[in-house]
Every structure is written in C-alpha cells, then in structure tokens.
Chain A
Amino acid sequence: DAGVIQSPRHEVTEMGQEVTLRCKPISGHDYLFWYRQTMMRGLELLIYFNNNVPIDDSGMPEDRFSAKMPNASFSTLKIQPSEPRDSAVYFCASSTGTGRGYGYTFGSGTRLTVV
C-alpha cells in the first residue's frame, strides 16, 4: 500500500486566494482526519470523517475552512479566502476504528504558505 497520499507537498498562495488540499487515505480505512501543525499551537485536529460522513468539525477554525469526503478514497480541505495566519503544515491521517491498538497512518503533509 502506498500509504496516505497528500497533495500538493508545498503550496504558496496570496492572501485572499482559494486553497484546496487533497488526501487519499489507505484503502479499507474508515476514518479520515485532518490536522494542522504550527510551532505556536502544535498539532490540532480540525475535522474527522467516519465512512465519508463528517463526525466532528469543532476544530475547524472558522467558516473559511471546509472539508469534504465525496467517496472512501478522497478528501479535500478548502480554505477560502486564505489568510497569512493559515500558514501551517496540514496533515491527513486515516485509520480503522475497530479493535484495540489501531493507530493512525499519517500522510507527509502539505506545507501551506500564505503571503
């Protein structure tokens, strides 16, 4: 398995532009998570899905952020409009929710810079 695949690896955009981050989870995993990592705030859970359905989006900073999972093999995180304070590394992770001891598999992340 190729693991969790995120694209792009790096994104530089101007303030006010729309940004879309993409994630392909591991086949068969029924949970998908979006995290944001910054030096100031560490690792923050933004939203997670179970069987393509958003379960908890309480970590989404504001209405400028939205996430979708149209099918079991694809998810997007969109920021519109983007602001400099959105600059961070965004990680996607997937997992199976059954049994004990199943951790998450993380993607390599998307480093977003908003100028």
Chain B
Amino acid sequence: GNSVTQMEGPVTLSEEAFLTINCTYTATGYPSLFWYVQYPGEGLQLLLKATKADDKGSNKGFEATYRKETTSFHLEKGSVQVSDSAVYFCALSEKNAGNMLTFGGGTRLMVKP
C-alpha cells in the first residue's frame, strides 16, 4: 500500500533560519505529491504540489522537489517567519487509487522572533 513518512516535530527555529522538513513515501504506482499547511484554528490548505519526477512545487517561498530516485519530497524555505508557524502535512495521491490522498503524520513548526 501507499504510505508517507515525515520527520517528527516539533521543529523550532529562529526567524530567518533555513527550514527543511523531510518527507519520504512508498507508492505502488506513480503518485502526485503535495504539501499541506494547517495554521492554528484552521483547516488544511494546499501549499504546493508536484505531479512528476524532478518537478519543483513552490509557493510563498516554500519549495519541494519530486525525487523519484530517493522517493522523497522534502519541504524547504530559505528564511522562515513567525507567521510560518503551523503544522505541515506531506501527502500523495495516485490516479489508480481514485486520487485518494494518503497523509503523513504532520510536522509542527514553531518559529521564534
């Protein structure tokens, strides 16, 4: 079956630090990959996605590259802000599984001023 593994949090950083949240996956086919973000008190929002190998998804200064050879989709940001404090979820979907999303466990990011 499909699965997504994320690094456990919380990740605590100072403002303007570099962020990496690791995500690796197992899939039976050729998945699409996603990062969702959940701000306090809100639902999950799509942050970025990539649908084929070597694609780079980007949004709001965040980036992630679809690495088929290492089955990874690590989230990065060069300079985090306090407003980036949230929970980040990595996820995958496969067309032959009805595009059902499989989520990782989430990683809490705390950014201190």
Interface residues, chain A, with chain B CB atoms under 8 Å away: 4, 31, 42-43, 48, 50, 91, 93, 95, 97-109
Q: Nearest Cβ distance between residue B29 and chain A, in whole angstroms?
A: 11
**Residue from B34, B42, B106 within 8 A of A109 (CB atoms):** B42
Shortest Cβ gap from A69 to chain B (Å): 16
* 7 sampled A-B residue pairs with Cβ under 8 A: A42-B105, A43-B89, A95-B99, A100-B95, A100-B99, A104-B46, A106-B45
Q: Are B98 and A50 in contact (CB under 8 A)?
A: yes
For B50, the closest partner residue in chain A by CB is A101
Across the interface, which residues of A come within 8 angstroms of B93, CB to CB? 101-103
Answer yes or no: B58 CB below 8 A from chain A CBs.
no
Within 8 A of A (CB), among B3-42: 32, 34, 36, 42
Complex: how many Å from CA A98 to CA B44?
A: 21
Query: Could you list which residues of chain B lie within 8 angstroms of chain A, going by C-beta atoms?
Result: 32, 34, 36, 42-46, 49, 51, 89, 91, 93, 95, 98-101, 103, 105-106
Q: Describe B's contact surface by its main secondary structure.
A: strand
Residue in chain A with minimal CB distance to B98: A97
Taking a contact as CB atoms under 8 Å apart, the answer to whether A43 and B99 are in contact is no
List residues of chain B with CB within 8 A of the CB of A104. Answer: 44, 46, 101
| Interfacial chain B residues near A103, Cβ < 8 Å | 34, 36, 46, 49, 91, 93, 101
Distance in Å from the Cβ of A72 to the closest Cβ of chain B? 17
The distance in angstroms between the C-alpha atoms of A108 and B43, with both chains bound, is 4
Which of B43, B51, B99, B100 is A106 in contact with, Cβ under 8 Å? B43
Chain A's nearest CB lies how many Å from the CB of B102?
10
Shortest CB-to-CB span from B108 to chain A, Å, is: 11
Query: Which chain A residue shows the least CB distance to B46?
Result: A103
- Interface residue from A31, A42, A100, A109 paired with B32 (Cβ < 8 Å): A100
* Distance in angstroms between the alpha carbons of A102 and B91 in the assembled complex: 12
A42 contact set on B, CB distance < 8 A: 105-106
How many angstroms between the C-alpha atoms of A104 and B98 in the bound complex? 12
Would you call B32 and A101 a contact (CB within 8 A)? yes
Complex: A101 Cα to B95 Cα, angstroms: 9
Given the complex, which residues of A lie within 8 Å of B98, measured CB to CB?
Answer: 31, 50, 97
Shortest CB distance B4–A (Å) = 11
